[in-house]
A and B are shown apart, each in its own frame.
Chain A
Amino acid sequence: MTVTEVGSARRRKEDARLITGRTTWTENVTLPGMLHLAILRSPMAHARISSIDVSPALATKGVVEAFSGRDVADVQGALPCAWPVTEDMVLPDRPPIAVDEVKFMGEAVAVVAARSRAAALDALAAIEVDYEPLPAVLDMEAALADGADLVHADKGTNRGYTWVFDSGEAGTGGDAAAALDDAEVVIRRRYVQQRLIPAFMEPRSVVVDPTGDVYSIWSATQIPHILRFLLAAVTGTPEHKVRVIAPDVGGGFGGKLQVTPEELIAFVAAKRLGRPVKYTESRSESLVSAHHGRDVIQDVELAARRDGTVTGLRVKLMANMGAYMGLVGPGVPILGAFMYNAIYKFPAYRFECSGVFTNTTITDAYRGAGRPEATYAIERLMDELATELGLDPMEVRRRNWIKADEFPFTTVCGLQYDSGDYDKATDKAMELFGYDELRKEQEARRAEGDTVHLGIGISTYTEMCGLAPSRVLGALRYGAGGWETASVRMLPTGKVEVVTGTSPHGQGHETAWSQIVADQLGVPFEDVEVLHGDTRTSYKGLDTYGSRSLAVGGIALYNACQKVLDKAKPIAAHMLECDPADLEFAEGRFRVRGNPDGGRTLADCALAVFAAHDLPDGIEPTLDADAVYDPVNFSFPHGTHLCATEVDTETGRVSIRKYVAVDDIGRVINPLIVEGQVHGGIAQGIAQALFEEAVYDEDGNLMTGTLVDYTLPTAADLPSFVTDRTESPAPDHPLGTKGVGEAGTIASTPAVVNAIVDALRPMGVNDIAMPCTPERVWRAVQGGAA
């Protein structure tokens, strides 16, 4: 086997069509007789719908149908939650369209179908709704207090679940309470992960065609396969009569890992009307109704000895679920539960999380999903510990982290970290950063009394990628497995079609998958076509999220390629009139071992199979192969990120002067794609640290309902990143890849906040709430509340 493609920085083959938009987005799908939907949404956070009248909308020009939740209450189904994290989790029915009560601002209350989108939007104003306001539950602590107003009165509580992991009880470590009691130093902090909005580029869009025998659903989703399965389940439609197509999809960041009300609404409307319908949200609708992320309050206690050795950690979370349980929302904090110990060896750990209902948009997966929260807490704590002990923050980390010769390492959570070298990545990062020089500059400028303060922030991290071994998911009560599929089809001309069960929405799978196939089968990169996203072509798969596509789906593809070669070998041997055992395969050609000339290519075999005129006895005339791979373990990328900030104490403005990321993500298929993932991930992590926050007012109105108020940074707000890598291949599979989709987001947020706090420590500042806006930084400098 020659290795030429894997490792090369191929330009992405899908980019020309994605960048120019000359492709199929769901919004471009136009079908004969198609109607356009518009959705009336609740302006209130919590209210009883005392009356609703859609008939005036029906009288509006161009309108074909209008209906409220009451009109479809019996047929609209309920939205699924696939992750009931505890046996007794409170799981309220979540109707796609509110029936009697609205429970968050932006919830659908009525739908109009019209001949044009404009006509549908015009008609919304004609719908008459009377709301009887109910108290809005917004604050998590208040929601959990006795006598609190309730989001779901019939459930009697706002506590959705309490999930506990205790290393003492699990037998994977010691008792955290004892560690805290015995500690020489205890650091106690409360950190708040503000609510974020995934803000994918392409708004959600769905088209449903009910004509013919099968319902065809186009959706801007990350999860066509899961959507098909669950839509069949919740609507009672036979699964084989449902086809889901995720055409090109413009980003997701977890925000499209959802079965949405809008998808079910479009399905119900199409079924009711017997005509194709399309719904595409506006940006404002997206911000208020697509699921949000994070929104977790973390109470953390770190136990340590005075020499810096960490001896235990106790974590207590309140996680804001919003008004309902999302598809995997309850499980997001649980994904973080196994990461609070991060790269460290401490022996005792307890984690307790309560999922809390509030009258807000649901929260669910957002890039990193649990792991950024965990990494933030532990990395902020390590800095606080270093300050407490008067040690360099990197030195404290170094004294606690797992050493390269200790892998595989079984953690206090019972996970087995596969491989890594934290010293190597850190040394490389420190050198690229110029850590010692910057520390010297910091001292000098402090001495001079510069009003702009230099801060240095560290974040070391690991994460669990490659979701996930199915039996682990089962043990965590997740509703599905973690395997992935790939099929390789050899066309008679020697070209190759690959079908993947992953569902790319910007990641570049077509390029990376082509590179893997090119190397394995010895065909040109250009000769590989990667098919995805249509449940008719890709009938089985578990889609794309959690940095799993390459780490799981890539291995399925590798295995399918080996099966193709296994099938081709006897055919090549037959043509060459030799024993298959005498053949070797290299550069796309089977040759008799020791004879570099002649031989037969895979294309020769494909054509021979196509003709099937002269095949060995008993050989099935096909080279096509399917593979399903269920990972044996998670993969554990890691890295060290360093950030230097300039903090203008007069205005509070934070500028990032230098950002260095050294990531170890195992073996790399395409360095250009990796670079893109790291850049985008860091940008989103910096955005949490400095820019983004979804804010509700005291009545439960989303104040950040446009991109004017929800301040997404752009390239102009970000520095140039210095990125590099070390490489510890994943030992569990032949590709050695680990996953990179979320690494940047996980690592960067604490690096930035640590840098800001480091800059301001001489002024007595030891924390600033995220996002660290200029105003908050300025107030912290003034000594006010941050």
Chain B
Amino acid sequence: MIPPTFDYAAPTTVDEAISALRDAGEDAKVIAGGQSLLPLLRMRFAAPSTLVDLGGVEELRHVREDGDTIVIGAMVTHARVLRDPLVNAHVPLLAQATSTVADRQIRHRGTFAGSLAHADPAGDLPAVALVLGASLEIAGPHGRRVVPASEFFVDYLESVVAPDEVLVAVRVPKQGSWVGRYEKFNRVAQGWALVGVAALVRRENGAIAEARVGLTNMGSTPLRARRAEAALAGADSPAAVGAAAARAADDTRPSDDLLAGADYRRHLAGVLTRRAVASLA
């Protein structure tokens, strides 16, 4: 379908983008790649008065190294993430998870930061950002602030980014000795995850010293499976990993909908956690 009428602003700097948002008022919406927003517009589920398009903001198109952190600008597409040498060298989990996002065409439009700002719990990358301990740099009329991923996601499709703010970059700590794996389970190859599990593990002497498990689509925000994480610490056998992974859905309340029942999602979370961690031996 055709989106409803909207005004369009095409800033070339972050400052201009913030001015444009201020001028446009509450109903304005920032658009990066349009991976999620364009379908909403076209189906007339969203009707912003103004679209502030970050496409022309050159300063947001960079991936750079900042000490122990990789900084990924808000206009860096999934396709760029996939081939970026810094990402592949230092946060391979992000590259592997990104390879499961949507399809090739959409990965050339959609952005990493955009998929975090959209805050869809069924999106693959929010859970990945959680386990990687990413933090998000947000610019607004009063300057910049940095929010850890663990505090970024508020509710279904809701983040801490205020209507007059722009998410400008994602700061992702290098994985170092941690190894990671994203396991996605969907109905069709291009579908959203029914459940996804991002596992990040650090091993010492053959056993798991520390583990982080992020869950996609197991609640209204991406979640950490804290009980499974605790149980995985010290696990030194497939059986121990299996028992720990079975706790992945503890304390979660996944939705029960057309695409999957809640009990099935909980079951899948356990299986996928076990498989993700087992693959990291």
Contacts and interface: CB of A to CB of B under 8 A. Distances in A.
Interface of A: 117-118, 121-122, 282, 284, 650-651, 653, 691, 695, 703-704, 706, 708-709, 711-714, 716-717, 773-775, 778-779
A282 B45 CA distance: 14
Contacts of B271: 650-651
A172 to B, nearest CB: 44
Nearest to B267: A778
Interface of B: 1-2, 4-5, 43-44, 103, 185, 187-192, 194, 258-261, 264, 267-268, 271
Nearest to B271: A650
Given A716-B188, A717-B188, A775-B261, 12 more contacts: A117-B2, A122-B4, A650-B271, A653-B185, A691-B187, A709-B259, A711-B188, A711-B191, A712-B188, A714-B188, A717-B189, A778-B267
A284 B43 contact: yes
A653 B264 CA distance: 12
Contacts of A121: 1-2, 44
A703 B258 contact: yes
A40 to B, nearest CB: 13
B187 A774 contact: yes
The A interface is mostly helix, strand or loop, or mixed, namely: loop
A619 B190 CA distance: 65
Contacts of A650: 271
Contacts of B267: 778
Given A284-B1, A284-B43, A708-B192, A695 B258 contact: yes
Contacts of B258: 695, 703-704, 709
B153 to A, nearest CB: 21
B268 to A, nearest CB: 6
Contact of A714 (B44, B189, B261, B264): B189
Contacts of A122: 4-5
27 contacts: A117-B2, A118-B2, A118-B5, A121-B1, A121-B44, A122-B4, A650-B271, A653-B185, A691-B187, A691-B188, A695-B258, A703-B258, A704-B258, A706-B43, A708-B191, A708-B192, A709-B258, A711-B187, A714-B103, A714-B189, A716-B188, A716-B189, A717-B188, A717-B189, A774-B185, A774-B194, A775-B264
A708 B264 CA distance: 19
Contact of B188 (A651, A713, A775): A713
A650 B191 CA distance: 20
Contacts of B4: 122
Contacts of A704: 258
A653 B192 CA distance: 16
Nearest to A121: B2
A773 B43 contact: no
Contacts of A708: 191-192
A709 B260 CA distance: 11
Contacts of A703: 258
B191 A778 contact: no
Nearest to A716: B189
B1 A651 contact: no
A592 to B, nearest CB: 63
Most A CB within 10 A of own CB, among B1, B185, B188, B264: B188
B225 to A, nearest CB: 17
Given A282-B1, A651-B271, A778 B264 contact: yes
Contacts of B185: 651, 653, 774
B47 to A, nearest CB: 10
A284 B43 CA distance: 8
A392 B260 CA distance: 35
Contacts of B264: 775, 778-779
Contacts of B260: 775
What are the 7 closest A-B residue pairs judged by CB atoms, nearest first? A716-B189, A282-B1, A118-B2, A711-B188, A711-B187, A775-B264, A650-B271
Contact of A716 (B190, B261, B268): B190
Contacts of B190: 714, 716
A651 B186 CA distance: 11
A704 B187 CA distance: 14
Nearest to B268: A651
Contacts of A712: 188
Nearest to B4: A122
Contacts of A118: 2, 5
Contacts of A716: 188-190
A775 B264 CA distance: 7
Contacts of B259: 709
A708 B258 CA distance: 11
Contacts of A653: 185
B272 to A, nearest CB: 8
Nearest to B185: A651
B24 to A, nearest CB: 20
Contacts of B5: 118, 122
